[in-house]
């Protein structure tokens, strides 16, 4: 049987590849070991979404870690659990999202996005909490009160029994949806907040016994009967048209006590 002749050149190339890879792995292992020995010397905290509300600042984040006894500064990078720190920050009631990053220079960078409430709820027991722009329930903050829409009236839901569910989840839950109005409150609040005219016009939402909605404007003392949280765009378009043309032309800002927009294709007004 004839044996194949092995090329010396191929052997040499294989040996060189082995030496090269060994050197690479050794370098990576050394770099990894060196990185783990680096001590965190600088802590940078950046807070976003602070243009309207300030529920949390740099000092609050540092105090949060101190209360948890999390060691960051002067700790070796290998002892800093980035995932655990992010998980802890994301559990903070004022934080929507947090990212933590460390680098070989000893820098720890924390980016925090603050939650943004759009409506403050007062339930029948006098308890108060927020619903944020992602439809999640949010507790009040001792440091700061957000200037947002107010929702009151026949709202039964206590914070403790609903905070684990967003308004959207309540809407999709058949059991909760039968008794809850938080999904309607959020839907209307979100629409108002995103519309420049409505946002400056409406300041309060009232929920009736029949789970219908009433709105109260910042100008004038009319009650706006909205009805159910349906046909929202059509109803608000009627309202904006009536306010910009109807009331201005008839000097009716103080003429009417009730503006009813719940019925299709019409606005029904009640004079004082």
Please name the helix (run of DSSP H) or strand (run of DSSP E) that holds residue 80, with its range, or none.
Answer: none
- pLDDT tens, position by position, 87-140: 999 999 999 999 999 888 888 999 999 999 999 999 999 999 999 999 999 999
Better pLDDT: 8 or 207: 207
Name the average pLDDT for the chain: 84
Q: Which of 98, 93, 133, 135 is nearest to 113 (CA)?
A: 98
* Phi, then psi, of 91 in degrees rounded to 5: -90, -10
Those residues whose C-beta lies under 8 Å from the C-beta of residue 231, and which sit 6 or more positions away, are 264
pLDDT-based confidence at 72, cuts 50/70/90? confident
The domains spanning 42-114 and 117-271 adopt the same CATH topology? no
Residue 257's pLDDT is 85
Q: Which of 264, 168, 152, 172 is nearest to 213 (CA)?
A: 152
Which of 3.10.20, 3.30.70, 2.170.240, 3.40.50 would CATH assign to domain 42-114? 3.10.20
pLDDT-based confidence at 39, cuts 50/70/90? confident
Q: Which of 213, 256, 255 is nearest to 235 (CA)?
A: 213
Q: Where are the domains of the chain?
A: 42-114, 117-271
Report the share of the chain in percent with pLDDT over 90: 48
What is the SS3 assignment for 226? strand
pTM, to two decimals: 0.80
246, 272 Cβ separation under 8 angstroms: no
- pLDDT tens, position by position, 242-258: 888 766 665 666 777 88
pLDDT-based confidence at 17, cuts 50/70/90? low
CATH architecture of 117-271: 3-Layer(aba) Sandwich (3.40)
- Cα(190)–Cα(234) distance, integer angstroms: 15
**CA 208 → CA 153, 173, 213, 215, 271, distances in Å?**
6, 22, 6, 11, 22
Work out the burial of residue 21: count CB atoms within 10 Å of its CB; fewer than 13 is exposed, 13-18 middle, 19 or more buried: exposed
- pLDDT tens, position by position, 137-157: 999 988 888 999 999 999 999
Q: DSSP states of 117-138 as a string?
A: EEEEEE-TTS-EEEEETTS-EE
* Phi, then psi, of 167 in degrees rounded to 5: -60, -35
Encoded tokens for 229: 């949280």
Q: With 80 as the cut, is the pLDDT of residue 216 above it?
A: yes
Those residues whose C-beta lies under 8 Å from the C-beta of residue 161, and which sit 6 or more positions away, are none
């Amino acid at each position: 049987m004839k044996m194949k002749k092995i090329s010396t050149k191929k052997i040499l190339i294989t040996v060189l590849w082995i030496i090269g890879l060994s050197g690479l792995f050794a370098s990576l292992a050394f770099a990894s070991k060196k990185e783990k020995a680096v001590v965190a010397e600088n802590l940078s905290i950046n807070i976003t979404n602070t243009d309207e509300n300030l529920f949390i600042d740099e000092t609050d984040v540092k105090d949060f870690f101190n209360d948890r006894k999390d060691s960051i500064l002067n700790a070796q990078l290998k002892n800093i659990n980035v995932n655990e720190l992010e998980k802890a920050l994301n559990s903070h009631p004022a934080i929507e999202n947090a990212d933590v990053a460390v680098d070989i220079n000893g820098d720890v960078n924390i980016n925090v996005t603050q939650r943004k409430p759009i409506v403050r709820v007062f339930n029948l027991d006098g308890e108060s909490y927020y619903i944020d722009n992602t439809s999640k329930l949010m507790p009040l903050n001792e440091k700061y009160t957000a200037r947002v829409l107010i929702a009151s009236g026949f709202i039964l839901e206590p914070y403790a029994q609903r905070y684990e569910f967003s308004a959207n989840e309540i809407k999709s839950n058949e059991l909760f949806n039968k008794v809850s109005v938080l999904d309607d409150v959020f839907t209307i609040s979100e629409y108002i907040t995103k519309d420049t005219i409505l946002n400056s016009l409406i300041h309060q939402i009232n929920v009736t016994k029949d789970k219908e909605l009433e709105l109260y404007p910042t100008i004038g003392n009319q009650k706006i009967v909205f009805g159910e949280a349906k046909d929202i765009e059509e109803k608000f378009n009627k309202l904006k048209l009536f306010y910009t043309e109807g009331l201005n032309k008839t000097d009716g800002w103080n003429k009417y006590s009730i503006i009813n927009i719940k019925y299709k294709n019409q606005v029904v007004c009640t004079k004082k």
